[in-house]
Amino acid sequence: MAAGMLCFRAFVLSMACVLLAVPLLMAQDPSKLSLEYYSKTCPNVEHVVRTEMECAVRADTRNAALMLRLHFHDCFVQGCDGSVLLDDTATMIGEKQADQNVNSLKGFELVDKIKEKLEAECPGTVSCADLLAIAARDAVVLVGGPYWDVPVGRLDSKKASLDLANSDIPTAQQGLLTLIAKFWQKGLDATDMVALVGSHTIGFARCENFRDRIYGDFEMTSKYNPSSETYLSKLKEVCPRDSGDDNISAMDSHTSAIFDNAYYETLIKGEGLLNSDQEMWSTIAGYSTADTVNKYWADPAAFFKQFSDSMVKMGNITNTAGGEVRKNCRFVNT
C-alpha cells in the first residue's frame, strides 16, 4: 500500500511537471482592467445591471445560476470576451453548439434585456463580457453569496470557437487530474477549482450528465447509507437509465436556492451529483483537494473569501486579440 502511494505521488509530480510546461492563458494587461473604467463614460453601469438582476432572480432564483454559468463558460474559451453569447451565422458556428452548452446553457434573453438597458443608458460603451462579469457577481450576492469588486474594461471578441469550447470547458465525466490540468491552463490552480466548484450549490444538472454517476459508483461513495439510498432513488426517478436526458436535478439537494457551503457536505457524504465533483473528495487523486473540500465545509467564511478571489482571478482571463464593444451581444458590429 505504501509503495502504491509512493508510485501515485510520483505520478502526480510527473503530471505537475507536464502542467508547468503548458503555457498558461495569461490575462490581458492588468492596467486595462480597472474598477474605475466606466466611472466617467457609464457611471451607472453597476446599478443598471443590479436592477435587472434583482428582477430576474426575484422571478426565478435559478436565473442566478444561469448567469454565473454563462460567465464561467465564457471565460474558459478564449478568455472572458463574450464569445459564448454569439449566435451562429452563415460563416460561423458559435460556442452555443458545444457539447457542454447545447440544450443546457441558458440566460441569453436576460443578457439581451440587460444589454438593451445599458445601450439606452450609455450607447456603445459597456462590453458584453463586462456585463456577464458584473451580472455573475450580482447573481451570487442576490442568493446569499459573497460580494467582490469586479474589475472591468474587457472587450468583446469578434469570433467564437466551437472547437475550443468542446476541448477547454470541463465536463462532468472527466477525471480529477484532467480537470486540474484544464484549470491550470487558464492560470487557475486546484484551490481555485475547488472554490469555483462550490458554485454548484445553486446549480442544476441534466440527467445526461449525471446518469453514469447514479447508476455507477454513487452507492459506493455514499457507503450505502440509508438516507443516501433514499436520495438516490429520487434521482433515479428523475433520470431513468434509458430516457429523460434533459430532465434536471439540483446539485445541492437541500439549499439549492441559497449560495452557501452546503455542497461540500454533499461531497463529504459521497453524494456529489457529478462524477467530476465527487472525485475531489473520494478518489486517491483527491488526497489534496479533499483537504480543501473539508476546509470549506468547516469554514464558510474561508470558502466565501476564496470564491471571491477566484472569481476575480478567472474574470481576469481576457482575450488578447483585438476586440470591440458589441451593440448586440449576439452579433459582432457591422
Other residues' Cβ atoms within 10 Å of the Cβ of residue 333: 11
Phi first, then psi, for residue 32 (nearest 5°) are -90, -10
255 is in an annotated binding site: yes
Burial code (b: 16+ CB inside 10 Å, e: under 16) for 65-95 equals bbbbbbbbbbbbbbbbbbbbbbeeeeeeebb
DSSP state, residue 1: -
Which ranges of the chain does DSSP label H, i.e. alpha helix? 2-21, 45-59, 62-75, 108-121, 128-142, 162-168, 176-185, 190-197, 207-214, 218-221, 226-238, 262-268, 275-282, 289-298, 300-315
Residue 191: how many other CB atoms lie within 10 Å: 17
Q: Three cell numbers at 214?
A: 447514479
**Closest CA relative to residue 279, chosen from 224, 220, 229, 225:** 220
Q: Is 256 labelled a binding residue?
A: no
- Provide the grid cell at 61: 432564483
Q: What is the DSSP letter of 261?
A: S
260 carries a ligand binding annotation: yes
**DSSP state, residue 324:** B
Is there a binding annotation on residue 60? no
Q: What's the CA gap between 4 and 284, in Å, rounded? A: 11
Residue with cell 509530480: 13
One of 47, 71, 73, 254 is an active-site residue; which one?
73
Active site residue 254: no
Q: Would the annotation count 170 as a binding residue?
A: yes
Q: 79: annotated binding-site residue?
A: yes
- Is 30 annotated as belonging to a binding site? no
Cell numbers placing 206? 441534466
Rounded to an integer, what is the distance from CA 21 to the centroid of its chain? Answer: 25
252 known member of a binding site: yes
Alpha-carbon span 31 to 88, nearest angstrom: 33
Bridge partners of 248, per DSSP, are 206
Strand partners, 324: 156
> Is 41 assigned to a binding site?
no
Residue 156, annotated as binding a ligand:
no
Q: What would the grid cell of residue 77 be? A: 474559451
Q: Give the Cα separation of 305 and 303 in Å (integer).
A: 5
Q: Is 226 within any annotated ligand binding site?
A: no
Tell me whether residue 151 is annotated as binding.
no
Binding-site annotation: residue ranges for Ca(2+) = 74, 77, 79, 81, 83, 95, 201, 252, 255, 260
Q: Any idea which residues carry the catalytic annotation?
A: 73
Binding-site annotation: residue ranges for substrate = 170
Binding-site annotation: residue ranges for heme b = 200
Binding-site annotation: residue ranges = 74, 77, 79, 81, 83, 95, 170, 200-201, 252, 255, 260
